[in-house]
Chains A and B, each alone.
Chain A
Amino acid sequence: MPQDFEEIYAVHLEHVWRFVRARVPGQADAEDLTSESFVRALGAWRGYDSRRGSVRAWLLGIARHVVADWWRRRAAEGRLEDASDAVVSGGPEPEAEALAALTMQEVRGHLADLTDRERDAVALRFGAGLKAAEVGAALGVSETAARMLVYRAVARLRSLVNHD
């Protein structure tokens, strides 16, 4: 493995993991897909061009394709029964996060109502912690369009969750 890629993997594992975990229901699947994302990235590493965006956005772009392929495979196998759970479980949250976690339970059920692109945008902005410009780079749209995707996704979720 090239030395520079070893450093990249060490730095960006968390971001890729959080994005993938926010897009697939099971932790084991998220681990598999995170691993697969880095293996694919290693294969494409020579083709990475820093002028076209940050390494993080590039890696998350690859992860996005890996996740999309995974969902396609599941759809082909007719295993979409838990699509609405396509968001991080969050694991055991501290008490301070209980309120947010409660809302998360509600939110989880409604993510399936978003478009694929909106789900990607939400996972990249909230899960992976990318800035709007980086979300845009990963999705191949402008910063404004990325912000709009997140805004519309949040607006849709806001109208769906019952949390007044």
Chain B
Amino acid sequence: MTEGFDSREAAAALQLDRAIESVASGDEAPGVDAKTLALIQALLVSRRTDPPPALRERVKAALREAAYERVWLPARLAAALLALAFVGQGVGSLLFGRWVAGNLHIAFEPHLLFESGVALLALGGVVMAGALTRRLVGVALAAGAPVGLAFAAHGLPELAEFPAGGALHLSQGVAALAFAVLWLRARRYVSKRASK
């Protein structure tokens, strides 16, 4: 099969391919002129270049590090979702307090809503820091998961009278639970690998 290539050129390419194989195996390459042979031998020098001794360990370490990053990725994604849910609630408290209070049939308290809004933004920032930086995942879990679960438990009854608020608290609870479970799973995997 020459696949549209010039048949003489394709035959020469096949001959060269066989010559490369022969020279690489240390055999004669009949029918190949001296200049081409020298070229083949020169190009084959690269095949005899062994990796530096430290490279094997270096690649192994890089792979371990990458595998470690991948293990934590699901937990960090859950942390990012939880952070966004906190930020969403914080922004709602700061900008749409009157609307929230109206839907919950409670008195509008700008002072309280402002302070809780700022606190929620700060909490969202801490949890997001854990999502972005692996060594802060534990801090993010400790700060965010209990609050997420508490908000879910406290806010779920809202679903009937203020569905948007109830849904937000539900998503906080789900994200917090997922974060905790995925964090535990990653932690267990890492400990198991370390003990091996």
Contacts and interface: CB of A to CB of B under 8 A. Distances in A.
Given A1-B64, A99-B41, A154-B16, A17 B55 contact: yes
Interface in A134-155: 142, 144-145, 147-148, 150-151, 154
B107 interface: no
Interface residues of B, number: 41
Contact of B66 (A42, A122, A147): A42
A103 B63 contact: no
Contact of B40 (A31, A93, A101, A154): A154
A128 B63 CA distance: 21
Contact of A144 (B10, B12, B20, B41): B10
Interface residues of A, number: 56
A43 B43 contact: no
A99 B41 CA distance: 9
B45 A163 contact: no
Interface in A70-128: 87-88, 90-91, 93, 97, 99-104, 106-107, 122-123, 125-128
B70 to A, nearest CB: 7
A100 B39 CA distance: 8
Give the interface SS of chain A, mostly helix, strand, loop or mixed.
helix
A5 B47 CA distance: 24
21 contacts: A1-B67, A14-B51, A18-B47, A21-B49, A35-B59, A42-B66, A42-B70, A88-B46, A90-B45, A90-B49, A100-B45, A104-B43, A126-B46, A144-B2, A144-B5, A145-B5, A148-B5, A150-B17, A151-B12, A151-B17, A158-B36
